[in-house]
Every structure is written in structure tokens, then in C-alpha cells.
Amino acid sequence: MVLCLTAASLSGAPRPPNGADLYRQLCVECHGKTGGGVKGKYDDALHGDWSVEKLTRYIDKNMPEDAPGKCVGADAAAVARYIHDTFYSREAWARLHPARVELVRLTNRQYVNTVADLLKSFGAADAAFGSERGLRGNYRPKPPKSGPDLKPFDRLDRQIDFRFDAGSPDAGKLGTGSNEFSINWRGALLAEETGDYEFLLKTPNGVQLWVNDEGEPLIDARVASDMNELKGVIRLIGGRAYPLRIEHFKAPKDKSASLVLRWKPPHGVTQIIPARNLSPAGVAPTFVLTTPFPPDDSSVGYERGVAVSKAWDEATTQAAIETAGQIVKQLDRLSNSKPKDTNRAAKVEAFCHEFVAAALRRPLTAEQKRVFVGAQFQKTPKVEEAVKRVVLLTMKSPRFLYLGLATGPPDDHEIATRLAFALWDSLPDRELTKLAAQGALRTREQVEAQARRLLGDARARAKMRAFFHHWLRLDHVESLAKDEKLFPGFTSEIAGDLRTSLDLFLDDVVWSGGSDYRRLLLAEDFFVNGRLAEFYGVKADVTDDFVKASLPPGERSGLLTHPYLLAAFSYSKSTSPIHRGVFLTRNIVGRALKPPPMAVAFKEADFAPNLTMREKIVELTRPKNCQGCHAVINPLGFSLENFDAVGKFRTHENGRPVSAGSEYITDDGATLKLTGARDVAQFALGSTHAQDAFIEQMFHQVVKQPMLAYGTDVPGRLRQSFTASGFNIQKLLVDIATIAALRGTEKKR
């Protein structure tokens, strides 16, 4: 925030300073009557996060801009107080610019999830996942004409990575040598992020792979290959399990037998599918839309469904057509009918009534049944054509595409819808729908209980992972490539492992018993696999997957020092205190930063080679017009200088001691001495401003609406509950979802 006061002389007899009078005389010409700015003089509105004390110091020292010194002392304090209370502070801004709950359409993520769950709801529930990980293999020998009687057997395989050579998986059960055998693995694949997954099979034998499709194989190579890697790509939605099946055949002519199943997940590297992503549980396929949609509007810092364009409208039409085709393809299964049933049309029509009600998230009126279903079956004698009409009409309906169309206090079905979209980005499940029909979502206790239940679903975990990726700006990370000579061994595999390590850390913090926000910033453990343990010199009992390892006390500080983020906010050859400092300022400390008036690129060649990075940044940002922001950014960025560009701990740079200490001026004007990352973390944990920023980010990502639209008291209420719960992130999620679900209810809950 920068003030631009107009030079003006104060006249008249001495009097107690009046902030309103001073503002009208000194400021209004550039800043306007309500602080909204004046075009051509000072365009920006007076709004920010500075305290009254900091505003006072700034005015006293710098204003009026063309004649500093004319508004000092008590006058500066009076005008600062007036500006802060009238239109600068969060409360004043909310009063002048009241937020409102906007009419929104489904976001892209919500649309895809909703369609997937809509079709998934017409079928048996998937098997519950236990603690077992891997795929269940059924090994079937073909007994020789003479010899032992070999029988099929089952076993659980954590990964599909077998090299039997000329032998067999189990000589005692399948025999030895080149005996013919086959293996059928079944189970579920757990996808953590939405995107395209590439599957790769390598074998000299015959093989077939099915992923999320029980009919058409993704890879079909029943005839033995020459060990070329077979590939198939499929799009999956994060936070869900998909059926996976492999058929592997060894013929007598095959000299050897082996099979390796790998994948390349979104933002990942090619690797053997980890055991944590495999389960022997049985699940049904999930319909995943492939229709592309234009990007959602993210101009306010979170995705929201406010942009309605011709491209979006066309995408919804194409998606409806794609969905209708899928429903017709599976019509008899979905409607529990058979082609030759004499009452097939009646069963299909009954299914359509259920489909429309589920899509519109509430029971249908008699008129809706007639318009959406009855009239469509009357228009055509062909059942399949009628179904297509029903699906297209339903999925193009505003009642499907938009959230919050109902007016007046929300009923139980609206509350169920708000709750499900807050925590799952999808429609209510059977339990929520049942409770809504029973009128059992009318108290805060009832809604909170359901919110806690919804948190136990993988869809809630997927949504929280998406929140953290946004908060930590992971979606903006393009590459972690580093200079091979300076950082030998830092490969794309290490970079992919680091992203997985960070995700596992986030999951461990959020979904553990304490769900403690403080662990995010202070934890001294680090998830490693074999590659990471070796590269970072971590002692850990590594198995075939990631394990949690403890690091030297005082060296690390949670997210702030996770190697993935340290590497992401660095250059290829060196650290970047500016990038790291901006991240800490905005995302951890929660202070706003305006775009720089002039972007200055960092060029290594502009500095003497013997300078440390800290010295280079001090020199680069020395100009006065840089210090407004860099006085905040630089001290925070310097606190991470004990970590190099790949996140390894260091005490020296170019043979010189690293200096991570600095003095940071807090938002209330106090001077804080920093010696490293843990000091920044401790400050953030004790800062109500930082807590508010984290809560607001989560609210926006969960609800997709401005937080203050739910009441100016909401930030304070959420922070009070958050601190009282011991900074429990799950409790914060429940509180946010409950506030969103119950908005507009007449009774005080």
C-alpha cells in the first residue's frame, strides 16, 4: 500500500487534529472521497493489511508525496486512524464493498466429479479398503502330461515387478523350467491426482491390461512380444479407485517369463506402481468425461464458476452427449433390466426418474417428472432415444449446471448439496440424500456429524490435496531441472520423488489424529524412498516404498524447508531468496504484495563471482523504489539460505559462511530477529494475521465463494475455533463446510 498525499497548507488556529478534515484537505484529490483512487493521479484503492501504527509512520515520513513533512506527529496519526477505520482495514473494506454469495455454475472439477458420481450411484457400493496393499494374483499352471499334479493358488503381490527368467513364480507350485502358466491379477488402482496416466508393460510373454474398463483392455498383447514396452494412456479422476486387471501368459515356446508394470502419473515420472496405490479390493468402473472445458475463472485467487461463455456452453452440450452415449451403452445394467424383458420400458423410465432426481439433487415434482421424463418417452417409441433426450435435457438444465438457484432459507436437500460440494466437489451420496429426505439435516450437530463422515472419503482427501497444491503454488511449478555439474544426481526421478514426498507429508499431517496445522510448519520429519535417502544423506529403513524419517533436530521446519519447495523456488544454479521470500510472505506469513512497479530480472553475469547470493540480492534490491516490498521479502528469503538450490542443508556457499539471519519488520511495526526458517515458522504460528490468511485461503477453495459474504464475523469465529481445537485442520474443514451449508437458515444453529 502506497499513499500519495497532495500538498496543501493547513490554515486556521491550532486545534486537535481531525482525521476526516485532514483527509479532505490533504488526500482526497488523489485518493477520492472513499479511498477508491482517482484516475490519472492514484488509481489504486486504499486497502491493505498495514496496521494504524505502520500507516502513521509511513505518512509521517513520506507524505505529502511532493512535500514530505507537512503531515507529521499527531496529524499523521489522526489521518492514519481515519483512513484505516473508514476504508482501509478489512472491516472497513467489507462495509464499503459488501461481499455477496454469487450465482455460480459447476466448476470444471465439480462437473467431472458430479457426472462420475451420478453414474456411479446406480450400482453396488465398492468394497471397503482394508490395510492390505497390492494386487491379488491367481497363479494357474498347465500341468504337464506326466509329472506332479499342480494346482492354482493365490497370493498378494505388492508390486508387479517379476523376472522369472527360465523358471516360474513358485517352483514348488508351478513347477520348473519352461512350463506353461498364466497369472491373473485383480484389484484396484488408487489415483491421487486428476489427469492422464500412462501405463507401461514390459514382458516377453503375452499380456493384457484392463484399467477402469471391464470389457476393453487398455493394452492388448496376448501374443508374446519381443520385450518392447507396451503403452496405454487413460484419464482418471483423483481421489478414486479404479478396477485393474492383468492377464499374463507364458507359452511353452517362451524361453523366459517376466512382467513389469509401470506408470507415469500426472506431474510424476515413470516408475513401478507403488504398493500404496494398489489394493486387492474389488471396485466398479467410474465414468470419466473426456470432453475438454475452457478454464475456470481464477482471477480472485481461487477457481470459481462465474464465467459463462459460448465455449463453455458448447462443452456442456458435448459432455451431455458423451454421458448419454455412456448411459445407453450400459442401460440394462443401470436400469436393472434385460433386452427381452416385457417391462423393460417401465424399468428404464423408472431409472430415468431416479437419474434426474439425483442430477438435480432433490426429489422431483409431478411437473418435473412429466417434463424431464414422461414427455420424452412420449416423443419416441425407441427407449434408447428417449433416454438420450432425458439425459440431454437434464444435463443442460440450470438446475443441474448451477449451484444456489433456490431462494429463501435452504431446505435439507439444499443443505446436503452445499455440504457435499464443499467437501467433495460433487453431489450428495445416498446417506446424505436419505437424511435430507427424512428432515435430519436441520441442526448444526446433524450437519457437523455428516461433515465429519464425508471427511472419511477419499474424495475429501483429493479436494484437500488440490487445496494444498494451490496454496503452495505447486501447479505453477514448471520444472525442477538443475545444473548437472553443480548438482550431480539431481535427476527427474529425484524431482518426482520429492513431489510424492511432499504429498505424503501433507497427507500425514492433515489425516493423522491431531491434524495439527503447527506440524505443517515445524515438523522435522521427511518422507523418503531409497533414492531420496541416498541423495539427501538420510538414515532410514527403506522398504519398497516411502517411509517417514527423522532429521537432525533444528535443521528443518516443515513445509518451509521441504526440498521440493526449496528447489521449486530456486534457480537452476543457485538459490533465489526473492522467490522464496515472496512465497513465505504471501503463503506462510500472509501479507499482501503488490506487483513490482518495474520488473528487474536477476542476471548472474551482472555480479562479481565471489559474492554470495545474499549479497547479490542486497545489491539488486538496494534502490528506494524496491525497498517498499523487499524490506519484507528479503529478510524472509534470507532465512532459507542454509538450503541450496536442491534443498540440501549447507553452512557455506562458495567457501564462505552462509548468513541466514536478518531483521524482519512485522505488519504491526515490530522488529523480529530471524536466525533461520524455524523463526519464520514460529512467528507465523503466533500471528493472527497469518492464521487468518490460511483460513481464508481454505474457505475460498472449499466453498468457492468470498468468505465475508457469509458474515463479517466469520473470520473471527473460524480463527477462535481453530485455535481452541489445537489448530486442528479437520475441525477447521468441518466448521467451514458447516457454515457454508447452513447459510441463510432462519434459526440460530
- Where a domain ends, among 686, 710, 731? 686
Shared domain for 542 and 660, answered yes or no, is: yes
* pLDDT, mean over the chain: 90
Range of the domain at 159: 135-279
3-state class percentages of the chain: helix first, strand second, coil last, to nearest 5: 45, 15, 40
Same domain, 174 and 273: yes
- Which of the residue ranges 435-444, 463-472, 619-628, 635-644 would you say has the lowest mean pLDDT? 619-628
Average pLDDT over residues 209-216: 95
**Residue entry with cell 466453498:** 703
Q: Which of 248, 279, 310 is the last residue of a domain?
A: 279
654 and 561, same domain (yes or no): yes
Helix (H) or strand (E) holding 229: strand 229-236
Q: What is the pLDDT of residues 710-720, one digit of tens each?
A: 998 999 999 99
For residues 245 and 225, is the Cβ–Cβ distance under 8 A? no
AA identity, residue 10: L
* Band (157; pLDDT cuts 50, 70, 90): very high
Q: Quickly list DSSP for 360-376.
A: HTSPPPHHHHIIIIIHH
82 touches 123 (CB < 8 A): no
pLDDT for the residue 226: 64
What percent of the chain is predicted at pLDDT more than 90? 67
Specify if 115 maps to a domain.
Answer: no
Average pLDDT value for residue range 401-413: 92
Calpha distance 393→405 (Å, rounded) = 17
Flag whether 271 is in a domain.
yes
Please report, to the nearest 10 degrees, the dihedral formed by the alpha carbons of residues 458, 460, 465, 470 taken in order: 150
Would you place residue 6 in the very low, low, confident or very high pLDDT band (cuts 50, 70, 90)? very low
Dihedral through CA 299, CA 303, CA 305, CA 310, nearest 10?
Answer: 70
pLDDT digits (tens, 9 = 90+) for 524-548: 999 999 999 999 999 988 887 899 9
Confidence of residue 695 (pLDDT cuts 50, 70, 90): very high
Domain CATH code at residue 44: 1.10.760.10
- The pLDDT assigned to 498 comes to 96
In 3D space, the residue among 187, 186, 227, 220 whose CA is nearest the CA of residue 205 turns out to be: 227
Same domain, 566 and 667: yes
371-386 confidence digits (pLDDT tens): 999 999 999 989 999 9
* Position 745 pLDDT exceeds 90: no
Specify the higher pLDDT residue, 608 or 683: 683
The 10s digit of each residue's pLDDT in 546-558 is 999 988 898 999 9
Q: Is residue 11 part of a domain?
A: no
The pTM score is: 0.90
Q: Are residues 78 and 224 in the same domain?
A: no
CA 692 to CA 225: how far, in whole Å? Answer: 59
Better-predicted residue by pLDDT, 97 or 384: 384
Task: Please report whether residue 380 resides in a domain.
Answer: no
Least confident residue range of 20-24, 321-325, 383-387, 395-399: 20-24
Left if phi > 0, otherwise alpha if psi is -120 to 50, otherwise beta: which for 313?
alpha
Summarised one tens digit per residue, pLDDT across range 225-248 is 566 789 999 999 999 999 999 999
More confident residue, 564 or 605: 564
CATH number at residue 150: 2.60.120.1560
Q: pLDDT by residue (tens digit) across 33-76?
A: 888 888 878 888 888 877 888 888 888 888 877 778 888 999 99
| 575, 652: one domain | yes
Give pLDDT, residue 49.
76
Q: Would you say residue 401 lies in a domain?
A: no
Instruction: With CA atoms as reference, report the closest residue to 582 among 439, 473, 676, 484.
Output: 473
* 479 part of a folded domain: yes
Give the residue-averaged pLDDT of 253-280: 92
- Answer whether residue 367 shows pLDDT above 90: yes
Greater pLDDT, 143 or 561:
561
Amino acid at 155: R
Length of the chain: 749
What are the grid coordinates assigned to 315, written together?
462443452
- Supply 453's cell numbers: 463422515
Give CA torsion, residues 710, 713, 718, 724, to 10 deg: -160
User: What total of structural domains would you count in the chain?
Assistant: 3
Which phi and psi (to 5°) does residue 24 adopt?
-65, -35
| Same domain, residue pair 139 and 92 | no
- C-alpha span between 339 and 330 (Å, rounded): 12
Q: State the DSSP H helix or E strand holding residue 445, giving kind and residue range, or none if neither.
A: helix 444-455
What is the per-residue pLDDT for 57? 86
Assess if residue 568 is contained within a domain: yes
End position of a domain, from candidates 633, 663, 686: 686
Range of lowest pLDDT (198-212, 456-470, 617-631):
617-631
Q: Tell whether 44 is covered by a domain.
A: yes
Based on the fold, state whether residues 205 and 83 are members of the same structural domain.
no
Residue 15: pLDDT band by 50, 70, 90 thresholds? low
Does residue 151 share a domain with residue 91? no
Distance CA 300, CA 502 (A): 26
Asked if omega into 64 is within 30° of 0 (cis), the reply is yes
How does pLDDT run across 317-338, given as a tens digit for each residue? 999 999 999 999 999 999 999 9
**Residue 227 has what pLDDT?**
60
The verdict on 543 and 652 lying in the same domain is yes
pLDDT at 9: 44
Instruction: Please state the rounded mean pLDDT for residues 559-563.
Output: 97
Q: What's the pLDDT score for residue 8?
A: 43
Same domain for 179 and 73, yes or no, is: no
Q: Are 146 and 205 in a shared domain?
A: yes
Dump pLDDT digits (tens) for 648-680: 999 999 889 999 999 998 887 789 999 999 999
Mean pLDDT to the nearest integer, 285-302: 95
